[in-house]
């Protein structure tokens, strides 16, 4: 599997910035954006990678942005995205709940709210009549690469249940809110099989909105486009994907009698393949049949294998010698005091040794396809500071987040003594 960096480049970055280190490639992100620009609006789900410099790159390419917290709204604003008020907002706030400070922020910046509950409509209407809203609908079914990323069906907390759409429309009228559009995101890691069902459900919902005497201006297909994490896995074809949604849009247009915008809200597709996580081998040891390679990065950085049993390609390289041939079944594990801190594992935490280079202390571990849901899901578990992030743009290398220090962590507590 190819990554957008040479071993020499990664040797140099690790030596210069230290490890653990997140590295992103700007050209890959631009390429993915270009593939999706057939949609009227591409809205980046920044939860996948919310670094302000990545958001600036998105903005420079004409990509709009989604925010799911007050923090993500402030990140978008810091990256130069505009709220609304006199002009269409670049930002949409998507959530199932509104807390008071987030409510104040969306009102202050006139940011449209994509409501996942009727309570949100009531709370918003009370303090901001006329506010633009989207309705996020749970169509009654969902799909995802794991149960934890399936966001539809009756076990999902997300969205307004499809049969509650008329009640949501009544809440919009009662609260004098302004309906922008309908939104559906049924999960992350979607396959084509479900798409026709999703598109059909959207058309039905548009019919309900029209029949209730409401108008709307756009529909959103949500995100969820998968990427091939493993060799041979299918890559979503953006043109095919667009074709299915465009047909749904056209059908919906005949119902409402005017043009409708078509939005897409991808996270993973835009950034996953742009990134790698670099760690350094700090110990190797054997336990029974297993050979362990222990590195200085763990699930405090990349949570996906521990959380979902996700598979990430990886390789070992030796500074100056390049990638080592995969000759030895190895279990790759991190430094955390927890047995689940293993990168080579499957669903349910089963350890899956992987053929890798015969590693020794000082070698680099390169974990592939970590641009999405990598740094943005990191934690300070075991009091480990957040790792640095670097953006490579051709010859230009930019540190886009400096490494957190332990002193900064402690200061949060010591400063209130
Ligand atoms: N829109 C909404 C409303 C979402 O909830 C999400 C993802 C997206 C868009 C973007 O989905 P994407 O295009 O990236 O699949 N941490 C998990 C993924 C969780 C996704 C949560 N919502 C992972 O590492 O796979």
pLDDT in tens, 307-353: 999 999 999 999 999 999 999 999 999 999 999 999 999 888 899 99
Q: Are 390 and 17 in contact (CB under 8 A)?
A: yes
Give how far Cα 366 sits from Cα of 52, 254, 279, 328, Å: 24, 51, 7, 16
Ligand 1 centroid to residue 224 C-alpha, Å: 6
Which atom of ligand 1 is closest in space to residue 373's alpha carbon? 24
Q: Which residue is closest in CA terms to ligand 1's atom 24?
A: 373
Find where tokens 């690469």 sit. Answer: 145
Q: Is 188 in the pocket of ligand 1 (CB under 6 A)?
A: yes
Q: Which residues pair with 317 in a beta bridge?
A: 323, 364
Catalytic residue annotation: 337
pLDDT score of 191 more than 70: no
Q: Is 312 in the pocket of ligand 1 (CB under 6 A)?
A: no
Using a cut of 0.90, tell me whether the model's pTM lies above it. Answer: yes
The helix (H) or strand (E) run that includes residue 275 is: strand 275-287
pLDDT in tens, 76-128: 999 999 999 889 999 999 999 999 999 999 999 999 999 999 999 999 999 99
Give the pLDDT confidence score for residue 193 in this predicted structure. 72
* CATH code of domain 272-414: 2.40.37.10
Q: Is 223 in the pocket of ligand 1 (CB under 6 A)?
A: yes
Q: Is 44 in the pocket of ligand 1 (CB under 6 A)?
A: no
Q: Which residues pair with 137 in a beta bridge?
A: 160
Ligand 1 centroid to residue 46 C-alpha, Å: 9
Q: Which residues pair with 291 in a beta bridge?
A: 286
pLDDT score of 210 more than 80: yes
Q: Is 154 annotated as a binding residue?
A: no
Ligand 1 centroid to residue 132 C-alpha, Å: 23
Provide the CATH topology of domain 26-269. Answer: TIM Barrel (3.20.20)
Give the pLDDT confidence score for residue 86 in this predicted structure. 86
Q: How many whole angstroms separate alpha carbon 70 and alpha carbon 358?
A: 46
Q: How far apart are the first and last CA of the chain?
A: 51
Indicate where the chain has its CATH 3.20.20.10 domain(s). Answer: 26-269
Ligand 1 centroid to residue 187 C-alpha, Å: 7
Ligand 1 centroid to residue 246 C-alpha, Å: 22
For a mutational test of ligand 1's pocket, the pick from 223, 343, 374, i.e. the residue with the most ligand atoms closer than 8 A to its C-beta, is: 223
Indicate where the chain has its CATH 2.40.37.10 domain(s). Answer: 272-414
| ipTM score over 0.90, yes or no | yes
Which atom of ligand 1 is closest in space to residue 268's alpha carbon? 14
pLDDT in tens, 231-261: 988 888 999 999 999 999 999 999 999 999 9
Q: Which residue is closest in CA terms to ligand 1's atom 6?
A: 223
Q: Is 318 in the pocket of ligand 1 (CB under 6 A)?
A: no
Cis peptide before 193 (omega within 30 of 0): no
Q: Is 233 annotated as a binding residue?
A: no
- Say whether 258 sits in a helix, a strand or coil: coil
């Amino acid at each position: 599997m190819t990554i957008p960096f040479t071993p020499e480049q990664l040797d140099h970055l690790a030596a210069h910035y230290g490890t653990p280190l997140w590295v992103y490639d700007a050209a890959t992100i631009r390429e993915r954006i270009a593939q999706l620009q057939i949609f009227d609006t591409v809205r980046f789900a920044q939860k996948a990678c919310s670094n302000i410099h990545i958001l600036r790159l998105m903005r420079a390419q004409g990509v709009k942005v989604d925010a799911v917290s007050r923090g993500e709204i402030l990140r978008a604003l810091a990256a130069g995205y505009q709220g609304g008020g006199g002009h269409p907002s670049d930002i949409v706030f998507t959530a199932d709940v509104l807390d008071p400070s987030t409510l104040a922020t969306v009102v202050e910046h006139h940011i449209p709210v994509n409501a996942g509950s009727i309570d949100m409509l009531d709370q918003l209407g009370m303090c901001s009549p006329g506010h633009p809203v989207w309705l996020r609908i749970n169509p009654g079914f969902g799909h995802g690469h794991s149960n934890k990323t399936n966001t539809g069906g009756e076990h999902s907390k997300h969205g307004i249940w499809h049969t509650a759409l008329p009640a949501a429309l009544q809440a919009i009228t009662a609260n004098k809110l302004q309906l922008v559009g309908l939104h559906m995101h049924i999960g992350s890691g979607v396959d084509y099989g479900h798409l026709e069902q999703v598109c059909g459900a959207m058309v039905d919902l548009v019919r309900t909105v029209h029949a209730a005497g409401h108008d709307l201006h756009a529909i959103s297909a949500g995100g969820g486009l998968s990427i091939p994490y493993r060799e041979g896995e299918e890559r979503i074809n953006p043109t095919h994907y667009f074709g299915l949604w465009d047909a749904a849009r056209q059908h919906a247009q005949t119902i409402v009698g005017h043009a409708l915008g078509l939005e897409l809200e991808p996270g993973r597709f835009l950034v996953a393949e742009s990134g790698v996580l670099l760690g350094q081998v700090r110990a190797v040891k054997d336990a029974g049949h297993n050979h362990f390679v222990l590195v200085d990065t763990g699930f405090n950085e990349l949570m996906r294998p521990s959380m979902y049993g996700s598979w990430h390609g990886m390789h070992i390289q030796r500074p100056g010698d390049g990638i080592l041939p995969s000759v030895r079944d190895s279990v790759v594990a991190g430094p955390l005091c927890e047995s689940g801190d293993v990168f080579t594992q499957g669903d349910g935490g089963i350890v899956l040794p992987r053929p890798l280079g015969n590693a020794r202390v000082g070698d680099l571990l390169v974990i592939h396809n970590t641009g999405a849901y990598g740094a943005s899901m990191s934690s300070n578990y075991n009091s480990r500071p957040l790792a640095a992030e670097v953006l490579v743009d051709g010859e230009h290398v930019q540190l886009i987040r400096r490494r957190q220090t332990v002193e900064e962590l402690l200061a949060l507590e010591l400063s209130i003594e």
